[in-house]
Amino acid sequence: MAKAGANQQTKLLTRAKEINNEIEEHQAAIAGLSQERRECLETLIDGGMTQAQLAEHLSMSRGRVSQLLSAGVRPERAFFGSGKVTVAIGGKPESGRADGKTQVVASSEAHSAAEQIIALVRTLGLDAESEIVPPPGMVQLNRPNLVVLTSPRLLPFVGQMLDADPHLGFGVDDEGWFLVDKASGDKLHSPSDRGETTDLGYIGRLPRPDGRGTFLYFAGLHAPGTAGAVHYVENNLPELYREVKTRRWSALISCEFDGKSRKIVSSKLITPLYRHDNA
């Protein structure tokens, strides 16, 4: 009898977890649909339709339409997801430690960029946390609400997913790593390799390996480029979201940084926002 009771308890706990997961999925779906409805209404209003006309077409009161337009969170929150955001940073072994132990660390620029993302998503009403991915960079990409930082040098598995981008990517030659426009074949090496306080970066949304979603990817040719990619998104999020929503896309940025502090001074797009076909 005791064994049967334990089995029943296990079944009930398993079912409770399943129900909890299903509720969370439904709540996320409802939040997503509510947000999409608000965006549809805003677009119709911008196109010249009045709230009274919307109310008539949707069989609801004008007051309800006004409530739907004013309620809810900022639409651009969907850029990062509908739940807790994870910021994964490529790490490398720290050398020269006094205790002789090996510890995986990330660059100060990457840490700063991760903190900027976490601060940004919290202003949007989402929670976030960061993690450092140790060598050889086998980051787990099959999870929701994921942001990945740092180049394919540290995260080679992400480099494989970049093959899905029909427009842009990374490459390496005798001069070092570069960004490439796949249509023209143009190779873009970092100006910082020549001693300038300018770096280049990639920003985009790529498919997960399991085909069940996407993740955001910000990566520079060097550490300032990664920070610059985050700087661009941070300062242009509403406009960026209006352009791409949660579809797959990519672009390249250029950023200027302070030569002493290494902090980003400015960032700008140097390519169009490329939308990926059928994405």
- Compute the CA torsion angle 86, 109, 152, 279 (nearest 10 deg): 50
pTM score of the predicted model: 0.76
Share of the chain above pLDDT 70, in %: 91
Q: What strand order describes the sheet that includes 187-189?
A: 168-173, 176-181, 187-189
Pair of tokens at residue 10 = 């296990």
Q: Does domain 78-275 have CATH number 3.30.379.10?
A: yes
Angstrom distance (rounded) from CA 150 to CA 139: 11
Whole-angstrom Cα distance, residue 149 to residue 140? Answer: 13
Calculate mean pLDDT across residues 28-50: 78
pLDDT surpasses 70 at 4: no
Where in the chain are the domains? 2-72, 78-275
223 burial (CB, 10 Å; 0-12 / 13-18 / 19+) is: buried
Is the model's pLDDT at 2 over the cut of 60? no
Q: In this predicted model, what pLDDT tens digit does every residue of 165-199 receive, in sequence order?
A: 999 999 999 999 999 999 889 999 999 999 999 99
Q: Where are the alpha helices (DSSP H) in 47-145?
A: 51-58, 62-70, 108-123
Q: How confident is the prediction for the chain on average, in pLDDT? A: 89
Across residues 141-148, what is the average pLDDT?
Answer: 97
Of the listed ranges 11-15, 226-230, 271-275, the least confidently predicted one is 11-15
Residue 86 Cα distances to 4, 134, 139, 155, 208, angstroms? 40, 16, 12, 16, 14
pLDDT of residue 278: 64
pLDDT in tens, 243-261: 999 999 999 999 999 999 9
* Distance in angstroms (rounded) separating the CA atoms of residues 111 and 126: 19
